[in-house]
Amino acid sequence: MHPLVRLAKQAVELYVREGSVVTYTGEVSGGMLEKAGVFVCLKKNGRLRGCVGTIQPVTSCAALEAVRNAIAAATEDPRFPPVGPHELEEIDYQVDVLLPPEKITGTSELDPRRYGLIIVKGARKGLLLPDLEGVDSVEEQFRIAMAKAGIDPSERGMDMYRFEVARYS
């Protein structure tokens, strides 16, 4: 298990069981001390159970970002009730460390298997991670990201960015 995944798991388990936040003092590898946006997704029996992340980092390093977002995925994802102690043994973890986004001029520069998508219009933002089950076309990726941003498909003047991730599970 990758150290970031182990850390996310420890963070969720300690928080759900005791209400405490894990102190990271473990092994350091592969960019864990670099600043980066991080998404943590929880799955239970193969189905999404929570996913929260940051496009831009809000902490000093990827390790702390993973702790913060793992706890939020377990307790604050508005699509799901908070994870209970009885569920902890059934949860699988995925940690995606976002590489710097690059601005693109159109959907022809996308590949939903390789690139995630960020759409921005004013204060509205929608992000879709790459290589998601059921998202097999650029059109589907674009439609979902637009909906997440709350942007009507007929609107114009938005900025688009693609990004890759380092994915750990």
DSSP character string of the chain:
--HHHHHHHHHHHHHHHHS-PPP--S---TTTTS---EEEEEEETTEEEEEEE-SS--SSSHHHHHHHHHHHHHHT-TTSPPPPGGGGGGEEEEEEEEPPPEEESSGGG--TTT-EEEEEETTEEEEE-SS-TT--SHHHHHHHHHHHHT--TT----EEEEE-EEEE-
| pLDDT score recorded for residue 66 | 95
Confidence of residue 25 (pLDDT cuts 50, 70, 90): low
Per-residue model confidence as pLDDT tens digits over 27-81: 656 667 788 999 999 999 999 999 999 999 999 889 999 999 999 999 999 999 9
Domains with residue ranges and CATH for the chain: 3-98 (3.30.700.20), 102-164 (3.30.1490.150)
